[in-house]
Amino acid sequence: MQHETMPNFLIKRAFLTPDRAAVYFNDQTLTFRSLYENSVNTAGRLQVLGVKKNQFVGVLLKNQLDTVVTLFALQLLGVKAVILNNRLTVTDLVWQLQDSKSSFLILDESFSEVQETVKNHLPEVPAITLSQLKDTDPDVPIIQEQISLEDVCTIMYTSGTTGNPKGVMQTYGNHWWSSVGSALNLGITEKDCWLCSVPLFHISGYSILMRSVIYGMPIVLHEKFDVEKTIEDIGDKQVTIMSVVGTTLSRIVNALGDNRLPAQFRCMLLGGGPAPLPLMQACVKKEIPVFQTYGMTETASQIVTLSPEYSLSKLGSAGKPLFPSEIKIVLDNGQAAQAGEAGEIVVKGPNVTKGYLHRPEATQEKIRDGWLHTGDIGIIDQDGFLYILDRRSDLIISGGENIYPAEIEAVLLSHADIEEAGVTGLEDKKWGQVPVAFIVKKAESNLTSIELQQFCLNHLAKYKIPKQFYFVDKLPRNAAKKLLRRTLKEWLSEGRI
């Protein structure tokens, strides 16, 4: 079968608009020409170190200019980047490198603990630090002038509700169509500039990089979210679009006080769950256009978006599918749901992954007849607007990060003094939700919350550590002895704890 090909995105962009700004980072600016030249240079260095086409290469980097250059260098070489979440534990990172069969790990010097552990546990995966990369004399790299839209560009791991995380394969076509769908939804102008303070290891951040080269649009890259710097740069750098989650949007609104954002600003793209009514009303009052979205790693960013004109009349809705994409609700019996009838959200489109890396069974199970079964429960109303009722049934979304209770429960159950453990999300003003745990101790145990917190610190990323530990006599279970996390939520809301 003849696959559709296109010129390499960065090569084409550097040819079309070489002198346009591509990335602003602190006091540095790269044009598309200099981004291309730096990326070619870095590709030449990586080639000297043994990195070559079609390898999987782990990338553990922070939001900085070198990261942007490195990610594009890997595209120029035709390397599949396994983009690692730097908030994960060392154990998780080693597992993902192994699972993806990565040939190398490119990482920031500050991750020295990871480097040491990888060296000990995976000696066959050489680590390349950014400073080592800079000290290497470049060769003339073998550049992939053309890309096939079917080729895998990136791998990002997503946690499952059960078992280990799975590597989502994102093709060049997925990224291309995600950019096209977003452009047809939000529009694009030659004055657009996108502020990125979300992590580049998330699809929300990486998709902004892809849009930058596809649209010919500068991005303002921040190391992390800083509300004062955000407001300052929106004005100074003439930012028009920004990706946010509820917590960051709320902080921007509060920090603005009586002020408004500049007139050129046209879009807050809001992910990570619906925004509460008071926040939306505050945005309407301040004339901040908010586009609520629904998307996932498997859809290469948003697949459903709610336009600002519906933000109050369709409050709580994620909106309608982007132009190239389709969604439907399917009942347990496989039939399509009627309007307003709850069922599983299934999605389809050229931005949807072709599957999970080295997981043919999981791919077959999740993608059927071209439709991705998300595991999320939702309804579509009479007007075609999607409402999410339950994000993967028990998912906790904390500050835009997905947290799966099963992962935390597995860690807690490995403690010698714990008989049973159940985890659910507690509403939180700052983070949206935070995890809390219900514990049944073993007889005669004197286990305390402080001891448990310390135990979790050694086994879980910080944002996954339960904020409260409730000691109970027994956990709610159904007839099949399955833990009823929904009941745990009820206990919290009824104040029974």
By DSSP bridging, strand 418-428 and strand 166-171 are unpaired
Half-sphere exposure of residue 256: CA atoms within 13 angstroms, side-chain side = 21
Is the pLDDT at 179 greater than 50, yes or no?
A: yes
What is the residue type of 205?
G
Contact 182, 319 (CB under 8 A): no
65-97 pLDDT, tens digit per residue, is 999 999 999 999 999 999 999 988 899 999 999
pLDDT score recorded for residue 13: 98
For the CA atoms of 6, 7, 13, 18, the dihedral, rounded to the nearest 10 degrees, stands at: -160
pLDDT score recorded for residue 495: 76
What is the residue type of 1?
M
Q: What b-and-e string marks burial along 429-439, b requiring 16 or more CB atoms within 10 Å of the CB?
A: eebbbbbbbbb
Q: Which residues pair with 58 in a beta bridge?
A: 82, 105
Mean pLDDT of 227-245: 97
Please report which confidence band the pLDDT of residue 413 belongs to, taking 50, 70 and 90 as the band edges. Answer: confident
pLDDT score recorded for residue 163: 57
275-321 pLDDT, tens digit per residue, is 767 788 899 999 999 999 999 999 999 999 999 899 889 988 999 99
Is the pLDDT at 274 greater than 80, yes or no?
A: no
At residue 378's C-alpha, the angle toward residues 156 and 432, to 5°, is: 65
Q: Coil, strand or helix: which one is 425?
A: strand
Token pair for residue 49?
A: 């170190």
In terms of Cα–Cα distance, which of 185, 183, 235, 246 is closest to 212? 183
**Taking the model in full, what pTM does it have?**
0.84
* Cβ-based neighbours of 402, under 8 Å, separated by 6 or more: 158, 159, 395, 396
Chain center to CA of 309 = 26
What's the CA gap between 40 and 140, in Å, rounded? 8
Mean pLDDT lowest for which of 139-153, 169-183, 421-435? 421-435
Query: What stretches of 216-344 show up as alpha helix (H) in DSSP?
Result: 227-236, 246-256, 277-285
pLDDT score recorded for residue 164: 78
The fraction of the chain above a pLDDT of 90, given in percent, is 76
In terms of Cα–Cα distance, which of 44, 151, 160, 10 is closest to 99? 160
CA-based radius of gyration for the chain: 23
363-401 pLDDT, tens digit per residue, is 999 999 999 999 887 899 999 999 987 556 677 888 888
* Cβ-based neighbours of 443, under 8 Å, separated by 6 or more: none
Query: What stretches of 54-126 show up as alpha helix (H) in DSSP?
Result: 65-77, 90-99, 112-121
Q: Coil, strand or helix: which one is 266?
A: coil
Write out the E strands in 92-229.
Answer: 104-107, 127-129, 146-148, 152-158, 166-171, 194-196, 219-221
Contact 240, 193 (CB under 8 A): yes
256-271 pLDDT, tens digit per residue, is 999 999 999 999 999 8
Higher model confidence: residue 114 or residue 279?
Answer: 114
Contact 54, 78 (CB under 8 A): yes
CB count, 10 Å around CB of 457? 11
Output the average pLDDT for the chain: 92
Is the pLDDT at 496 greater than 80, yes or no?
A: no
